Amino acid sequence: MQHNSRPVISNQPGPHQDLSRRVSRALTHPLRKPIAEHTQHSFALAAEWLADRQAPLILDSGCGVGVSTRQLAAQFPAHAVIGVDRSEDRLGRDHGTLPDNALLVRADLVDFWRLAYQAGWAPEYHFLLYPNPYPKAGHLKMRWHGHAVLPTLLALGGRLELRSNWSLYVEEFALAVAQVTGQQAAVTEIAPKDDYLTPFEAKYARSGQALWRLCVDLERT
């Protein structure tokens, strides 16, 4: 992966004017679309794997090629780390042996989170590392904080950590968290140096971009 990376460019000057309305709609109109069969199957396999381990759960949602899942499994050897991504191609790339306490799952995150909530999962940590920013103003509903699944994502609980190279994404996410839970998330700029969790984190940092982290401790509801 080359180091030169362009910063996020958006036609939004600040937090989206429709953010609060989108979040309110997500709270009053729960997502009801049918869950895809392939994600049901993937979740069943993941649930079986997790039950065999009897260990605290870490979710690495949108794990891409799984580098972050491997890193987190090494950092938290007493935890069970599940990385979820929708791309079979990304998950299939060779980035070394997968630790025994890690699992990579191909699934749609919207459906996977809903199944996890229904099954009573309560991750101790939940990572959202460099999600697609969808920077066009018209794409607000495609950002996680503008999506109808947001209440379910937050209801899973645990220590949620979001990282992004777009400060506005993190700012909007914090506003959405406050609206749903009443909690103020901590937002900081980070400088990982050579301790990168994902290839994108390395690429953005080496390109001189600012990196942002949001952390919030959420109750399982």
Pairing type for strands 57-61 and 80-85 reads parallel
Contact 73, 101 (CB under 8 A): yes
pLDDT digit string, tens, across residues 146-172: 999 999 999 999 999 999 999 999 999
pLDDT band at 3 (very low <50, low <70, confident <90, very high): low
Q: What is the mean pLDDT of residues 27-31?
A: 96
pLDDT band at 1 (very low <50, low <70, confident <90, very high): very low
H-helix segments, 29-143: 37-53, 67-75, 88-91, 109-118
Task: Tell me the domains of the chain and their CATH numbers.
Answer: 54-89+98-218 (3.40.50.150)
Residues 6+ apart with CB under 8 A from 189: 210, 211, 212, 213
Q: What's phi and psi for 60, nearest 5 deg?
A: -115, 90
pLDDT digit string, tens, across residues 61-113: 999 999 999 999 999 999 999 999 999 999 999 888 999 999 999 999 999 99
Q: What is the mean pLDDT of residues 49-59?
A: 98
pLDDT digit string, tens, across residues 66-79: 999 999 999 999 99
- Measured CA to CA, the distance from residue 207 to residue 49 in angstroms comes to 38
- What is the crossing angle of helices 167-181 and 19-28, to 10°? 40
- Measured CA to CA, the distance from residue 181 to residue 79 in angstroms comes to 26
Specify the 3-state DSSP secondary structure of 71: helix
Mean predicted lDDT score pLDDT of the chain: 96
Torsion-angle region of 60 (φ positive above 0: left; ψ -120 to 50: alpha; else: beta): beta
